[in-house]
Amino acid sequence: MHPKSSLYLWDQRTLYIGEAFDLTCITPAASILVYCIEGTMAITAEGASKETITRSALIPAGKPFSAASDSKRICICFLDPYGEDFYQCKQFMGNFTDGIYFDSNNERHQIKLLEDIYSKKLPEDIAYKKMVELFFLHSKVSKEERRVDDRIVKVVEFIKTNFSENHSNQYLADLVGMSDVNLRRTFKKTTQIPIRRYRLWHRLFVTANLMVLGYTLTDASIAAGFSDSSHFNHTFRSMLGINPSFVLKRAQSICIFAPHINNRLIGELLNLRTPA
């Protein structure tokens, strides 16, 4: 019998390892790594004439695609919003087709690590450290050359700490001393997605953290800033490629690991107490 699926909710990255499922017509709000622990997957980018068969793939944020797997277990890692992880990971991918990177040069060792995280249910700090060492420390370019605009970092952090509010782009632009047009252009260039889509993506992350604290899906999604369940369901489906019901039906078979700092932060911002 296989161990339960695992979901790691880190501040900059999110990792799912467990029961495989197809990703149909998904437009990811963050760049993602997808690995088949067993078997292979067929990935088709939007507009591509044919599918690609592989065990590992790197998809940029905002790139529409579909994937179907014959594997029983799959790993999906949503990467940081600034493109740093994406830049690191594309260096070890061996092939590139239709805007998607395939076939990691270090696939065997990476899959072995993912198997260990999955089977041993490694604590979030240990799993995070091992993921960083094997996946995100490959840059041949200095940090200064890859430096992210501090103003975009400030906007992202503001959205993360004011996630339930819908501040206008102009408000955010004034906050960091940019024009509305320049902010939108620079934000999209940095993250590959519009500001509104990033806000919705982070609200999904907040919803998951609140559910770890014991809130129902409905209460958590509303507290995170979604207007209603229909809005949440649509966002969940378009960004993750599956319906929330898929996760809810398997809730008892998923182990969720969330660093305490995220729980404390959310509790402080919402002035909510963890339900008994």
Q: What is the largest CA-CA distance in the chain?
A: 56
Q: What is the mean predicted confidence (pLDDT) over 249-266?
A: 65
CA distance 18 to 272: 31
Residue 139: pLDDT over 70: no
Among residues of the chain, what percentage have pLDDT more than 90?
A: 47
pLDDT at 178: 96
**Backbone φ and ψ of 41, nearest 5°:** -135, 155
Band (pLDDT 50/70/90 cuts) for residue 71 is: confident
Q: What is the mean predicted confidence (pLDDT) over 224-242?
A: 84
3-class SS letters over 39-60? CCEEEEECCCCCCEEECEEEEC
Band (pLDDT 50/70/90 cuts) for residue 275 is: very low
The answer to whether 207 touches 256, Cβ cutoff 8 Å, is no
Q: What is the pLDDT of residues 169-209, one digit of tens each?
A: 999 999 999 999 999 999 999 988 999 999 998 998 888 87
Among residues of the chain, what percentage have pLDDT more than 70?
A: 86
pLDDT at 144: 47
The CATH T-level fold of domain 5-135 is Jelly Rolls (2.60.120)
pLDDT at 276: 40
Band (pLDDT 50/70/90 cuts) for residue 274 is: very low
Sign of the torsion formed by the C-alpha atoms of 29, 35, 38 and 43: positive
3-class SS letters over the chain? CCCCEEEEECCCCEEEEEECCCEEEECCCCCEEEEECCCCEEEEECCCCCCEEECEEEECCCCCEEEEECCCEEEEEECCCCCHHHHHHHCCEEEEECCEEEEECCHHHHHHHHHHHHHHCCCHHHHHHHHHHHHCCCCCCCCCCCCCCHHHHHHHHHHHHCCCCCCCHHHHHHHHCCCHHHHHHHHHHHHCCCHHHHHHHHHHHHHHHHHHCCCCHHHHHHHHCCCCHHHHHHHHHHHHCCCHHHHHHCHHHEEEECCHHHHHHHHHHHCCCCCC
Domain layout of the chain by residue ranges: 5-135
pLDDT at 84: 87
pLDDT at 255: 82
Global confidence as pTM = 0.83
Band (pLDDT 50/70/90 cuts) for residue 102 is: very high
Strand pairing category for 5-9 and 254-257: parallel
Sign of the torsion formed by the C-alpha atoms of 178, 184, 188 and 194: positive
pLDDT at 265: 53
Residue 155: pLDDT over 90: yes
Q: What is the mean predicted confidence (pLDDT) over 140-162?
A: 78
Strand pairing category for 73-78 and 41-45: unpaired
Band (pLDDT 50/70/90 cuts) for residue 263 is: low
pLDDT at 182: 96
Band (pLDDT 50/70/90 cuts) for residue 273 is: very low
pLDDT at 180: 95
**DSSP bridge partners of 9:** 14
Residue 247: pLDDT over 80: no
Average pLDDT, the chain: 85
